Amino acid sequence: MSNAATSWPALEWESQVWLPTTGFGGGRYKAAVPPLIAMLTPQPSAEAAEAASTAANALSRFDAELGHRVAAFAPVLLRSESASSSRIENLTASARAIFSAELGAKGSRNAELIAANTQSLQAALNLSAGLSSDAIRDMHRILMAGQPRHTPGEWRDQAVWIGTRADSPIGADYVAPDHVRIPAFITDLVAFATRHDLAPLTAVAVAHAQFETIHPFSDGNGRTGRALAQAVLRHRGVTENVAVPVSAGLLADVEGYHQALTAYRAGDVSPIVLAFANASMRAVSNARRLIADIDEIQRSWATRLTVRRSSNAWRLLDIVARRPVLDAVTAARELGVQRPNAYPPLQALVDAGILTAKAERPFWRSTEILGAIDAFAERAGRREMPR
């Protein structure tokens, strides 16, 4: 291990007593005690530092170059980030199911969870200017809404661990810090994440790894931690217009991502910095491909739609590109018209073969845009860099 790698303090451990509710199987276990990092400066290897710098520039360039028009696709990229972050934890759903769940459709629990993750990501971006412990709790509250068993927005009050046994932390591979330490650790983490003297992507990677090490909630830590990463990217000004789907880049090597978290806890920041740098480069490449695909689809729409130029059907095209599943209420709101006036432009797009109608529920969808988003998700799961 290099000197740079060993300059970051490894976890320490403290003995805790496990008292199961059944009264049987109690004993002692070791809980993690992470270092306080607010005043520490991570020093990744030269390779990792250079990769992080290159990736941060690529993220900023993508955001700036396409910022004037990527904002129109921001909802699509946000949902792609949400779906990718959820997929790391084996929560998968089609783009159609996710967009439909946001309109209230039932039937896919995973899609509902991913839709909640999208809302949490949006909250993270909204709160990025004022990152705080309360902001992190708000992200979690939105993410876990409807799951009171996991006390949305509240720090855990019990042990959590990674291991083969669900009923005891004794012998677990990793036990997160004792719950009484969480408020102090999160305050320290926020102080680190809001510093401006650190290389931005290195700060993002370390803040994320520290959050996952603290594991402050009883569930939803991975998705909340990746939402936090987006907030720190926005806070540091790396991105200003869109949530670049970095989690989609992490999908290419989930095992490597988890190994990097383990290395971080052992005192080596380089692997997690490299993981985020590589993920960011994949994300930019993949997102550019998605936007190019949507551009091509929109160009084909312009040749198919033959109604008069003053028709709201033309305005609806841009809406469909970022909201490929619509109901009449949403279409009317986006167009700024009364609901009855939304039906003619919707029908015009159906007649042009741009939208299809779902008879059993009043939804209209673009199979082409949904297909492009699903193709994005498929590319994200491949180990090779998307071209």
Per the DSSP assignment, residues forming a β-bridge with 162 are 174
52 shares a domain with 17: yes
3-state secondary structure of 122: helix
- pLDDT exceeds cutoff 80 at 157: yes
Quick one: pLDDT at residue 167?
84
CA dihedral angle for residue 112, residue 141, residue 192, residue 40, rounded to 10 degrees:
-80
Domain boundary among 258, 289, 320: 289
| Total Cβ atoms within 10 A of residue 382 | 12
324 shares a domain with 280: no
Longest dimension (CA), the chain: 76
- How much is the average pLDDT of 221-249? 85
3-state secondary structure of 91: coil
Structure tokens at 149: 């068993």
283 shares a domain with 321: no
- pLDDT exceeds cutoff 50 at 2: no
- pLDDT exceeds cutoff 50 at 158: yes
312 shares a domain with 279: no
Q: Does some domain include residue 124?
A: yes
pLDDT tens-digit profile of 172-229?
Answer: 999 999 999 999 999 999 999 999 999 999 999 999 999 999 999 998 898 888 889 9
119 shares a domain with 33: yes
227 shares a domain with 261: yes
- How much is the average pLDDT of 79-99? 69
Q: Does some domain include residue 298?
A: no
Q: Which of 81-90, 99-108, 214-223: highest mean pLDDT?
A: 214-223
- Whichever domain contains 30, its CATH number is 1.10.3290.10
pLDDT confidence tier of residue 330, bands split at 50, 70 and 90: very high
Quick one: pLDDT at residue 179?
97
Question: Which pTM value belongs to this model?
Answer: 0.85
Quick one: pLDDT at residue 5?
42
114 shares a domain with 203: yes
Q: Does some domain include residue 256?
A: yes
Report the range of poorest mean pLDDT among 82-86, 122-126, 222-226, 282-286: 82-86
Q: Does some domain include residue 380?
A: no
Per the DSSP assignment, residues forming a β-bridge with 364 are 326, 357
From first CA to last CA, the distance across the chain in angstroms is: 34
CA atoms of 282 and 245, how far apart (whole Å): 9
Q: Does some domain include residue 379?
A: no
Quick one: pLDDT at residue 254?
85
Q: Does some domain include residue 18?
A: yes
Average per-residue pLDDT in the chain? 86
Quick one: pLDDT at residue 72?
58
Compute and round to an integer the Cα radius of gyration of the chain: 22
Quick one: pLDDT at residue 127?
77
Quick one: pLDDT at residue 384?
46
pLDDT top residue among 387 and 281: 281
Q: Does some domain include residue 296?
A: no
Residue type for position 21: T
Quick one: pLDDT at residue 203?
96
- pLDDT exceeds cutoff 80 at 56: yes
Structural domains counted in the chain? 2
Residue type for position 325: V
- Domain containing 323 equals 307-374
pLDDT confidence tier of residue 90, bands split at 50, 70 and 90: low
- How much is the average pLDDT of 105-111? 71
pLDDT top residue among 68 and 259: 259
99 shares a domain with 179: yes
Structure tokens at 130: 């004022």
28 shares a domain with 133: yes
- With a pLDDT cut of 90, the percent of the chain lying above it is 52
Domain boundary among 289, 315, 346: 289
Domain boundary among 224, 255, 289: 289
Q: Does some domain include residue 219?
A: yes
122 shares a domain with 36: yes
Structure tokens at 46: 């030269």
pLDDT tens-digit profile of 271-313?
Answer: 999 999 999 998 889 888 988 999 999 999 999 999 999 999 9
Report the range of poorest mean pLDDT among 115-129, 203-217, 255-269: 115-129
pLDDT confidence tier of residue 163, bands split at 50, 70 and 90: confident
322 shares a domain with 275: no
- Whichever domain contains 313, its CATH number is 1.10.10.10
Q: Which of 63-72, 101-110, 228-237: highest mean pLDDT?
A: 228-237
37 shares a domain with 104: yes
Per the DSSP assignment, residues forming a β-bridge with 18 are 27
